A and B are shown apart, each in its own frame.
Chain A
Amino acid sequence: MLNERNVTSEIAGLIEKSLASDASVPELRREAFNTFQRLGIPDTKSEEYKDTPISRLLQKNFTFQSSPIQANITPGDFRVPYLDGNVIVFINGVFSEEHSTIVSPKTEVLISPLKKALLENPLVLQHLGHYADFSKDALSAWNTAAWNEGVFIHIKNNQVVEKPITIYHVHNATDSEWVSVNRNLIISGSNSKSTIIEKYDSIGSHNHFSNIVTEAVVLENSELNFYSIQNDSGNRYQYNLTQFHQANFSRVNTFTFTLGGKLVRNSLQLALDGEGIESHMFGLYLLANDTLADNHTVVDHRKANSFSNELYKGIMDGNSKGVFNGKIYVRPHAQKTNAFQANRNILLTDKATVNTKPQLEIWADDVKCSHGCTTGQLDEEAMFYLQTRGLTKDTARAMMLYAFAGEILDNVKNNELKTYLDQLVSERLHKNSWL
């Protein structure tokens, strides 16, 4: 207990420092800070963190003394090859104007640092903090109280933004440990279409933690494709809350690829607050060493006649640990809802583990919902079958793992991104052994 109080009070100290130096949205920040202090950093007795000892890991690995420094790093090294378009770069959580390039015209999309936008654009105040709930989650409350950097993206109504918008989060923890708190706000205007990619990479042997909350308002009949590529080093700790709020006939496709890091907690939440909505959530986690990746997802069907589909797949190697929790809520008015969810896992070693839990709460009676989760080793019979055709065990394994992951890759729409992800996944799964 004493230890947990410590980490909470150390972070509270950080938040107080931030509050003292930042006068933006004071009421919201103060309320969130009070909530943070009341909740405290969750321990494993908390239902939502029972498989993810975030309190213990933060306590053990962070002193919360140093704030992020502008580090020397070449963001270009982490770019997705051949992927042109809008580039936004954050280095150690700090926006880098020097490395960012906006190519789409302002008539299509407005991209700006969030603090600047907060001063200039009334839309920001109208939406900021209205969707990402912090009343029950101390980490979200921490973010809301103490965020200092982030991006505001406003896709204009009736615009198809052809060029993808890529946000590169590059991290250098060569010199010291650090903690950063980022906040993003996305408005996907009505009848618009766009693709946003966030990519995380890191170097350096010190621990670094980021708390990132993104709110995305997806207005009527718009389409938002949202990719998250988490390819960090083993010293990276990350808490992500990405909250989508969808209006009538909107379409959201999310892709979450987790390929590294020490602790990655992704809370992906979709509020389907309209009719005729279509939402797809894809996830692929390829974990090794002692990575812990926790995907908590929520699909909240609030109105009738909407569709959601979720497919998360994971391959756990080494001592890694996967956590999947998928909640589907179908509210009383959400008749004729179709909601599907599946989570499939392969464990490659005896030490790798996964905790998977579907959670469906359905208050409406005229709905179609299904869920399923599987966890196992590679199918021995299939391995033997391939071997009897002359493939080595390694080749057979690589082929089967790649096929397993391929089901997610197949759904990636952007070609350059698909090629890149395919290459990342192939390397990880040793596809070259059978090409």
Chain B
Amino acid sequence: MLSIKNLQAKIDDKQILHGINLEVKAGEIHAIMGPNGSGKSTLASVLAGREEYEVIDGQVEFLGKNLLEMSPEDRAREGVFLAFQYPVEIPGVSTINFMKTALNQIRVHRGQQPLDAVSFLKVMKEKMKLVEMDQSLLNRSLNEGFSGGEKKRNEIFQMAMLEPKLSILDETDSGLDIDALKIVSNGVNKLRNKSNAVIVVTHYQRLLDYIVPDFVHVLYKGKIVKSGTKELALELEAKGYDWIKDELTIA
């Protein structure tokens, strides 16, 4: 589904990604872990198409298409979804109105009929249950005055609405208490199927207790320095990132 080869990117004049290689297949969950400043969020941003980052080398293929040539909205329409680490507050735009526009623009792109108000509400109510979201929250301005947990649940709600093929969860666990973490993880797990894939970007192992990855990759200084199965995450948790750093220094 996703094939990243030698991806290098910079912001301003600072190179952050120094050659990432990653293959993600349908049905898989990949966790990307790493210490602060290793380039985790940059990778998520570059995949979603954030303009501040300039790709200086490498390729990213998504379902056979060149992802890097697409605008952020085209990536979304093709099936890429980024759950933000810091979801943006937008006063005056309600989640419902915005989701209706977004979903219908995506449906038209996919050659489907746009949903009318009644069908939209029906779909919305279903998806709300996934993340135990209250409709009053969705009537309000997008994320405005939402708690940290509500914002993250709103991200997963949007993911459920748009039914992406590849979801990138950027530090979705940050700022969540254990109950919210369970709700969010539960939502992600229910959305999982054979034809979609998830990339979980996280600093800590605890999210991976709930969203269990097939593969774990350690990102350090803009490169994937170690890959393994979910046991790697536990090892990292036990030994800390210094273990990786030391290992690299020795090698």
Q: State A76–B59 Cα separation when bound (angstroms).
A: 62
On whether A387 and B72 interact (CB within 8 A), knowing A392-B105, A399-B101, A400-B93, the answer reads yes
Closest to A385 in B: B88
Any A CB within 8 A of the CB of B23: no
Our pick among B72, B92, B101 for the contact of A406 (Cβ within 8 Å) is B92
User: Which residues 399-415 of A have a CB within 8 angstroms of B?
Assistant: 399-400, 402-404, 406-407
Among A93-101, A179-187, A376-384, the stretch that binds chain B is: A376-384
Q: Nearest-CB distance from B218 to chain A (Å)?
A: 26
User: Which residues 356-390 of A have a CB within 8 angstroms of B?
Assistant: 379, 381-382, 384-390
Q: State A399–B105 Cα separation when bound (angstroms).
A: 14
User: Are A389 and B51 in contact, with the CB atoms below 8 A?
Assistant: no
User: Are A390 and B91 in contact, with the CB atoms below 8 A?
Assistant: no
Any A CB within 8 A of the CB of B181: no
User: Are A391 and B81 in contact, with the CB atoms below 8 A?
Assistant: no
Q: State A120–B72 Cα separation when bound (angstroms).
A: 69
Q: Interface on chain A toward B: helix, strand, loop, or mixed SS?
A: helix
On whether A403 and B92 interact (CB within 8 A), knowing A389-B162, A390-B105, A395-B101, the answer reads yes
User: Are A404 and B48 in contact, with the CB atoms below 8 A?
Assistant: no
User: Are A399 and B93 in contact, with the CB atoms below 8 A?
Assistant: yes
Specify which chain A residues have a CB less than 8 angstroms from the CB of B243 in the assembled complex. Answer: none
How many residues of B are counted as interface, with CB atoms below 8 angstroms from the partner's CB atoms? 30
Closest to A386 in B: B98
Our pick among B71, B76, B101 for the contact of A434 (Cβ within 8 Å) is B101
User: Are A390 and B51 in contact, with the CB atoms below 8 A?
Assistant: no
Any B CB within 8 A of the CB of A393: yes
On whether A388 and B101 interact (CB within 8 A), knowing A399-B93, A403-B92, the answer reads no
On whether A389 and B90 interact (CB within 8 A), knowing A384-B50, A384-B51, the answer reads no
Point out which of A381, A390, A400 has the most chain B C-beta atoms below 10 A from its C-beta: A390
Q: Nearest-CB distance from B90 to chain A (Å)?
A: 5
Our pick among B75, B87, B106 for the contact of A385 (Cβ within 8 Å) is B87
User: Are B92 and A395 in contact, with the CB atoms below 8 A?
Assistant: no
User: Which residues 79-130 of B have a CB within 8 angstroms of A?
Assistant: 81-82, 84, 87-88, 90-93, 98-99, 101-103, 105-106, 109
Contact with A along B27-69 (1 / 0, CB 8 A): 0000000000000000000001111000000000000000000
Closest to A401 in B: B92
Q: State A404–B72 Cα separation when bound (angstroms).
A: 23
Q: Nearest-CB distance from A360 to chain B (Å)?
A: 25
On whether A385 and B77 interact (CB within 8 A), knowing A391-B105, A395-B101, the answer reads no
User: Which residues 265-302 of A have a CB within 8 angstroms of B?
Assistant: none
User: Are A381 and B88 in contact, with the CB atoms below 8 A?
Assistant: yes
Specify which chain A residues have a CB less than 8 angstroms from the CB of B92 in the assembled complex. Answer: 400, 402-404, 406-407
On whether A382 and B82 interact (CB within 8 A), knowing A389-B76, A392-B73, the answer reads no
User: Are A403 and B82 in contact, with the CB atoms below 8 A?
Assistant: no
27 example contacts (A-B, Cβ-Cβ < 8 A) are as follows A379-B88, A379-B90, A381-B88, A382-B88, A384-B51, A385-B84, A385-B88, A386-B98, A386-B102, A387-B49, A387-B71, A387-B72, A388-B49, A389-B158, A390-B105, A390-B109, A390-B162, A391-B98, A391-B101, A392-B71, A392-B105, A393-B71, A395-B105, A399-B101, A403-B90, A403-B141, A407-B92
Give A residues with C-beta under 8 Å from B: 379, 381-382, 384-393, 395, 399-400, 402-404, 406-407, 434
